[in-house]
């Protein structure tokens, strides 16, 4: 079964992470497939939905496929950055429908979309520090722009779970919806956007890219540079080993 489902229904393009058994942990190929689908969207696409199958949106990069070495890590972050650029560049509004956990790059991607609606039981987590890394996939630009530097730093350095309701209060997401109402509410939002003034939405998005997210490209470059360095540290080796071994990491700062 495909790890990414690409479906078109009328004016809506739906991209679904489809590794529910792995909480939709992201591989380079999954990120590339999603990017290609968004980049190839024709003018008839008036809304793009990004969501996850099962009980998670995405748990972030698949650390079972990442070794403490620069090459594979660089491929993963380059593919994630390509997806963020595709989300921001497409004129169609991109809606993240967050059905559960959104962690690591999954969190970054969900918050980089134009509209993010989440089930009340969902939560957002920048889990990077737990494995000796820094946030990437545009998080260092997108989150401060939405919630402020203090809250962004709290998420990045303390690695706390941010419940959907709190994320809404902080301005990180569009809405947190009770679980029982979530499928209907999310569907209504997608329908509303897909039937809205497409050209006005595109121009609005373009303006936000130039103003609120003017530093996104700089952030992507700085994140890549930082991650490439961190992939070679002892702390990353320890963090991934601890994660895979389901134990608490013992960081040394080396």
Contact 38, 48 (CB under 8 A): yes
CA dihedral 64, 70, 73, 79 (to 10 degrees): -150
- Predicted local confidence at residue 68, as pLDDT: 47
Q: Is 94 helix (H, G, I), strand (E, B) or coil?
A: strand
Closest CA to 66 of 221, 224, 232: 232
Percentage of the chain beyond pLDDT 70 is: 96
Q: Is 144 helix (H, G, I), strand (E, B) or coil?
A: helix
pLDDT of residue 197: 97
Single pTM value for the model: 0.94
The angle that helices 28-39 and 70-89 make with each other, rounded to 10 degrees, is 20
**Residue among 95, 104, 61 at smallest CA distance from 79:** 61
Long-range contacts of 241-246 (CB under 8 A, 24+ apart): 242/131, 243/63, 243/130, 243/131, 244/63, 244/64
| pLDDT at residue 69, rounded to an integer | 45
β-strand pairing of 101-103 with 56-58: parallel
Q: What percent of the chain has pLDDT over 90?
A: 87
Q: What is the reported pLDDT for 244?
A: 84
Distance of CA 170 to the CA centre of its chain: 17
Instruction: Indicate the DSSP class of residue 26.
Output: B
| Mean pLDDT in residue range 227-237 | 91
| Phi (first) and psi of residue 67, to 5 degrees | -105, 160
How do beta strands 12-17 and 4-9 pair?
A: antiparallel
Q: Comparing 242 with 40, which gets the higher pLDDT?
A: 40
Position 245 pLDDT exceeds 90: no
Q: Which pLDDT band, with edges at 50, 70 and 90, does 241 fall under? A: confident
First-to-final CA distance of the chain: 41
Give the burial class of 201: count Cβ atoms within 10 A of its Cβ; 0-12 exposed, 13-18 middle, 19 or more buried.
Answer: middle
Which pLDDT score, from 0 to 100, does residue 171 have?
Answer: 97
Instruction: Write down the pLDDT at residue 101.
Output: 97
Neighbours of 72 (CB within 10 A): 14
Over the stretch 51-106, which tens digit does the pLDDT of each residue have?
Answer: 999 999 999 988 876 554 444 568 899 999 999 999 999 999 999 999 999 999 99
Residue 68's alpha-carbon distances to 18, 22, 81, 113, 176, in angstroms, are 26, 21, 20, 30, 37
Q: List, for residues 198-219, the tens digit of each pLDDT value.
A: 999 999 999 999 999 999 999 9
Phi, psi of 83 (to 5 degrees): -65, -40
Mean pLDDT estimate for the chain: 94
What's residue 63's pLDDT?
81
Do 109 and 87 meet the contact criterion of CB atoms below 8 Å apart?
yes
Residues 28, 68, 142: CA angle, nearest 5 degrees: 55
């Amino acid at each position: 079964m495909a790890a990414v489902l690409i479906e078109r229904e009328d004016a809506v393009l739906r991209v679904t992470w489809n590794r529910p058994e792995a909480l939709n942990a992201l591989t380079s190929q999954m990120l590339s497939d999603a990017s290609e689908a968004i980049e190839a969207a024709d003018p008839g696409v008036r809304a793009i939905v990004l969501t996850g199958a099962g009980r998670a949106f995405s748990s972030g990069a698949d650390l079972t496929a990442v070794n403490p070495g620069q090459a594979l890590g660089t491929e993963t972050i380059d593919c994630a950055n390509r997806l963020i650029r595709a989300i921001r560049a497409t004129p169609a509004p991109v809606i993240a429908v967050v059905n559960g956990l959104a962690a690591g790059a999954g969190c970054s991607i969900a918050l980089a979309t134009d509209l993010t609606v989440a089930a009340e039981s969902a939560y957002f987590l920048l889990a990077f520090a737990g494995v000796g890394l820094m946030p990437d996939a545009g998080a260092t630009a997108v989150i401060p722009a939405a919630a402020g530097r203090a809250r962004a730093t709290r998420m990045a350095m303390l690695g706390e779970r941010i419940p959907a309701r709190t994320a809404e209060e902080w301005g990180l997401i569009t809405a947190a919806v009770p679980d029982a109402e979530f499928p209907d509410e999310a569907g209504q939002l997608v329908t509303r956007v897909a039937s809205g003034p497409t050209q006005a939405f595109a121009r609005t998005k373009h303006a936000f890219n130039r103003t609120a997210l003017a530093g996104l490209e700089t952030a992507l470059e700085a994140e890549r540079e930082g991650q490439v360095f961190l992939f070679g540290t002892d702390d990353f080796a320890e963090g991934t080993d601890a994660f895979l071994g389901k134990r608490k990491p013992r960081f040394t700062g080396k």
